[in-house]
Amino acid sequence: MRKITVLRDGWHFVRRNISPESAADYLTGGETVTLPHTWNSIDGQDGGNDYYRGTCWYIRELAPEETSGECLFIEFAGAAMTAEVYLNGAKLARHEGGFSAFRAELTGKLGEKNILAVSVSNEDNATVYPQKADFTFYGGLYREVRLISVPAEHFELLKDGTPGIKVTPEVDLTAHTAKVTVETWHNAGSVEITVNGETRTAEHSATFLIRDVHLWDGLDDPYLYTASAKLPGGDEVSARFGCRRFEIDPQKGFFLNGRSYPLRGVSRHQDLKGKGNALLAEDHAADMEIIRELGATSLRLAHYQHAQEFYDLCDENGLIVWAEIPYITMHMPGGRENTLSQMRELITQCYNHPSIAVWGLSNEITAASAVDGDLLENHRLLNDLCHRMDSTRRTTMADVFMLETDSPILRVPDINSYNLYFGWYLGELEQTDEFFDEYHAKYPDRVIGFSEYGADANPAFHSSRPEKGDYTEEYQALYHEHMLNMIEQRPYLWATHVWNLFDFAADGRDEGGKHGENQKGLVTFDRSLRKDAFYLYKAAWNKNEPFVHLCGKRYVNRCEEETEIKVYSNRSEVSLYVDGAKVAAQSGKTVFRFRIPLLGEHLIHAEANGCNDVMCIRRVNEPDESYIFNKAAASVTNWFDADELDPSCFSINDTLGEIRSNPQAGAIIEAMMARGASERGDVADAVKDNPALQRMMGRMTMVSLLKQSGADEESIKQLNRVLQGIKK
Ligand code: GCB
């Protein structure tokens, strides 16, 4: 029999590096912690890019009853980022990669007293990914640690954290059958494998035929089967699996079980305000509830392997998943082996999940690296590895917007996707539409998707004239209205994922009124508030729960004679009531806009097929300053147009490219832009020298770049004065 003991309590935590020999000294006194645990739950979320990245230790004495059994293994579900495991001072294992599980064997190494000491490090280095990315690299034993006691004859436990059983269902939609191959790894003479009530004895693997198969059919019916395997000595493993068929067409997008099934969804990071990445099962379940409410069909689980509990939830709830490794932003020549081992572990550990459709090779890897031979080779090796380990799934990668579409790197994965932030960081919303139209026209036979898009919003900020870069809830909503429409008109996009479902920690960021947070979430970091844009997607995607949502509930004080009331709903008719009287009704889809005069304080009520929502707004005489992030810039809208400019000299109306072509003017701009990039965190700072990005920015006027960066009035005027002093 297999016995699993979760080692939750009784860990002694040392917040610095110590020698393994001295670990026992820390069993008394000091800090005791309960797992899951991270040491960066506070300093990794408060901005400043100054969270502790170093080595810490977790020490625990194993009780005799915990170590019983013939063979004993220890399993770490996640140790971020590099871990070394010691038993009574002797090293048992080292593991590089903070997101995959690994195990070590304790059999034959146990003594009378058993002291387990684990060093965990999230220190920066040049070999273990991720090293440069827009999220906090929390350190710690942030998932469960378990002791697994098994008989002498047992399923394999060490190799790449394997579950010991691999299930491959192949569905024949016409015959309505599934051929299910079950492979196992063990040290016994034979194994009994059972699928769907049928049992076979085999050396290692067996094949079954399920007739009249019950399909795993996405959100509608995510039916799961179980395959189990048992050794004569009693050790047993099992895996749930789903019988489904995925197809991806360059013209028609994604197909599930032979029917068109557009993958429309969101990305998720595994962290939570105040807890970091040390999530409990209930935190994962609560996130899944929000995803179900949204009605997404797909999730991109970025940018690394997520917890097994979460892939399980995806299986159970019928989500279709993009899984990936943290090969991100910057290629490290010394990191090749690590990308391969992280991919091997991802596939080994996640293979059986029916929800997973694609393996992601990398994310924006050319943002801070050139496409050279080494980077290409690394991708080819990863791609081949995926195909060798899994012939049933496709590979993909998330390309950075400035990667040329004819770059050879795009030919490596089976299918591609782009992360595009036009209308947020750079450029206008419509450039997204143009990008995909051009790509699809140029490469009609290539599958293309939209792996990231989003805009930051702090729900404290509001405006009736939302603009790119203002961090208002209203601009985020407008941005997503555009994107939703763009996507609906392009069914060939094989998958689209909003960046991000939740705000998340990026300790290097300091913007939009918050420190250390990326605020592109549709829901706040603590999950307490759904921003308006959340309801836009709910209106478009959730087919089951009728609802109506009034936008702008937090935008109470409005300084205008007439105001827009915007309603998101998945019903086709919406009625609007002001102070109890019906003022309008509208038929339509998803977004309903009304305009009403503002006289004083009003009770607004929207109704659609019995669903209701209410809010209070009021007219004020002065703009509510608390709604404005960049007060200085907002108060001087258009001041510049009135200025008299000398056309023979430079001004902020010139493009960045024009200004740069002059050495004197160019040097001033260079220094200013470097400062701006560092406020947006590590990644902005690292990519600022990318040639394609520079080219794209070169075409924009200085004034639009400044507006977007949130520069204040005095700095803008000052820069203009300086530029006006430089002859063209
Ligand atoms: C990206 C990255 C993601 C960032 C995001 C952003 O392209 O892939 O990790 O968080 O942009 O918000 O800038």
- Read out DSSP for 576-645? EEETTEEEEEEE-SEEEEEEEE--SEEEEEEEETTEEEEEEEEE-SS--GGG-SSHHHHHTTTGGGGS--
Helices (H), 351-472: 373-389, 430-442
Q: What confidence category does residue 695 fall into, taking pLDDT thresholds of 50, 70 and 90? A: confident
CA distance 407 to 412: 10
- 329 pocket-lining for ligand 1 (C-beta < 6 Å): no
CA distance 308 to 237: 15
CA distance 449 to 432: 12
| Phi, psi at 248, each rounded to 5° | -130, 125
pLDDT digits (tens, 9 = 90+) for 373-383: 999 999 999 99
Q: How long a stretch of residues is the chain?
A: 728
Q: What confidence category does residue 1 fall into, taking pLDDT thresholds of 50, 70 and 90? A: confident
State yes or no: pLDDT of 163 exceeds 60. Answer: yes
Which tokens is 289 given?
A: 């509830």
CA distance 267 to 88: 42
Of 564, 613, 605, 569, nearest to 587 (Cα)?
569
State yes or no: pLDDT of 445 exceeds 80. Answer: yes
State yes or no: pLDDT of 637 exceeds 60. Answer: no
Q: Which residues pair with 578 in a beta bridge?
A: 581, 604
Burial class (CB in 10 A: 0-12, 13-18, 19+), 200: middle
Secondary-structure percent of the chain, ordered helix, strand, coil, rounded to 5: 25, 35, 40
Least confident range from 54-58, 103-107, 384-388, 709-713: namely 709-713
Q: Which residues pair with 22 in a beta bridge?
A: none
Mean pLDDT of 93-105: 98
Mean pLDDT of 415-423: 97
Q: What confidence category does residue 639 fall into, taking pLDDT thresholds of 50, 70 and 90? A: very low
pLDDT of residue 126: 97
For the whole model, what pTM was predicted?
A: 0.93
Mutate which of 304, 330, 364, 403 for ligand 1 pocket (most atoms within 8 A of beta carbon): 364
pLDDT of residue 631: 64
CA distance 617 to 461: 15
Helix/strand/coil for 503 = coil
State yes or no: pLDDT of 453 exceeds 50. Answer: yes
Cα-to-centroid distance, 283 and ligand 1 (Å): 23
Which amino acid is present at 350? C
- Read out DSSP for 72-86? EEEEES-EESEEEEE
Q: What confidence category does residue 226 fall into, taking pLDDT thresholds of 50, 70 and 90? A: very high
State yes or no: pLDDT of 688 exceeds 80. Answer: no
- 592 pocket-lining for ligand 1 (C-beta < 6 Å): no
Mutate which of 425, 452, 687 for ligand 1 pocket (most atoms within 8 A of beta carbon): 452
Residue with CA closest to ligand 1 atom 10: 134
Which atom number of ligand 1 is nearest to the Cα of residue 303? Answer: 9
Neighbours of 309 (CB within 10 A): 18
Give residue 393's Cα distance to chain centre: 20
Element at 323 (helix H, strand E) = strand 320-324
Sheet strand arrangement including 548-550: 548-550, 562-569, 590-597
Q: Are 491 and 262 in contact (CB under 8 A)?
A: yes
- 419 pocket-lining for ligand 1 (C-beta < 6 Å): yes
Instruction: Cite the beta strand spans of 487-551 per DSSP E.
Output: 495-498, 504-511, 514-518, 548-550
Residue for token pair 């601009």: 475
Cα-to-centroid distance, 454 and ligand 1 (Å): 9
Cα angle at 87 between 84 and 88, to 5 degrees?
130
Q: How many CA atoms lie within 13 A of 260 on its CB side?
A: 10
Sheet strand arrangement including 177-184: 165-172, 177-184, 205-211
Residue with CA closest to ligand 1 atom 7: 419
pLDDT digits (tens, 9 = 90+) for 475-514: 999 999 999 999 999 999 999 999 999 999 999 999 999 9
Q: What confidence category does residue 669 fall into, taking pLDDT thresholds of 50, 70 and 90? A: confident
Mutate which of 304, 402, 511, 683 for ligand 1 pocket (most atoms within 8 A of beta carbon): 683
pLDDT of residue 633: 56
Burial class (CB in 10 A: 0-12, 13-18, 19+), 292: middle
Residue with CA closest to ligand 1 atom 13: 134
State yes or no: pLDDT of 689 exceeds 80. Answer: no
Q: What confidence category does residue 718 fall into, taking pLDDT thresholds of 50, 70 and 90? A: confident
- 390 pocket-lining for ligand 1 (C-beta < 6 Å): no
Which atom number of ligand 1 is nearest to the Cα of residue 684? Answer: 13
CA distance 462 to 630: 11
Residue for token pair 């080595």: 55
Cα-to-centroid distance, 662 and ligand 1 (Å): 32
DSSP 8-state class, residue 27: G
CA dihedral 656, 661, 664, 670 (to 10 degrees): 40
- 520 pocket-lining for ligand 1 (C-beta < 6 Å): yes
Q: What confidence category does residue 282 fall into, taking pLDDT thresholds of 50, 70 and 90? A: very high
- The answer, yes or no, to whether the previous bond of 408 is cis (omega within 30 of 0) is no
Greater confidence, 264 or 704?
264
State yes or no: pLDDT of 541 exceeds 70. Answer: yes
- 499 pocket-lining for ligand 1 (C-beta < 6 Å): yes
In the chain, % of residues over pLDDT 70? 98
Q: Which residues pair with 619 in a beta bridge?
A: 558
Q: Are 619 and 560 in contact (CB under 8 A)?
A: yes
- 519 pocket-lining for ligand 1 (C-beta < 6 Å): no
State yes or no: pLDDT of 642 exceeds 70. Answer: no
Cα-to-centroid distance, 444 and ligand 1 (Å): 27
Mean predicted lDDT score pLDDT of the chain: 95
Of 87, 639, 75, 713, nearest to 349 (Cα)?
75
Which atom number of ligand 1 is nearest to the Cα of residue 401? Answer: 7
Instruction: Give residues with Cβ within 8 angstroms of 391, minimum separation 6.
Output: none
State yes or no: pLDDT of 127 exceeds 90. Answer: yes
Q: Are 71 and 2 in contact (CB under 8 A)?
A: no
pLDDT of residue 481: 98
pLDDT of residue 632: 58
Mean pLDDT of 159-174: 98
Instruction: Give residues with Cβ within 8 angstroms of 318, minimum separation 6.
Output: 216, 217, 218, 219, 220, 221, 222, 355
CA distance 653 to 575: 45
State yes or no: pLDDT of 95 exceeds 50. Answer: yes
CA distances, 599 to each of 347, 555, 563 (Å): 61, 16, 10
pLDDT of residue 716: 83
Which tokens is 384 given?
A: 């081949």
CA distances, 609 to each of 18, 587, 657 (Å): 65, 12, 54
Of 1, 35, 10, nearest to 114 (Cα)?
10
Least confident range from 108-117, 452-461, 703-712: namely 703-712
pLDDT of residue 636: 39
CA distance 165 to 642: 72
Of 467, 439, 442, nearest to 455 (Cα)?
467
Catalytic residues: 364
Of 476, 456, 364, nearest to 680 (Cα)?
456
Instruction: Give residues with Cβ within 8 angstroms of 215, minimum separation 6.
Output: 171, 221, 223, 242, 243, 244, 257
Cα-to-centroid distance, 134 and ligand 1 (Å): 6
Helix/strand/coil for 92 = strand
Which atom number of ligand 1 is nearest to the Cα of residue 419? Answer: 7
Mutate which of 301, 401, 518, 525 for ligand 1 pocket (most atoms within 8 A of beta carbon): 518
pLDDT of residue 703: 81
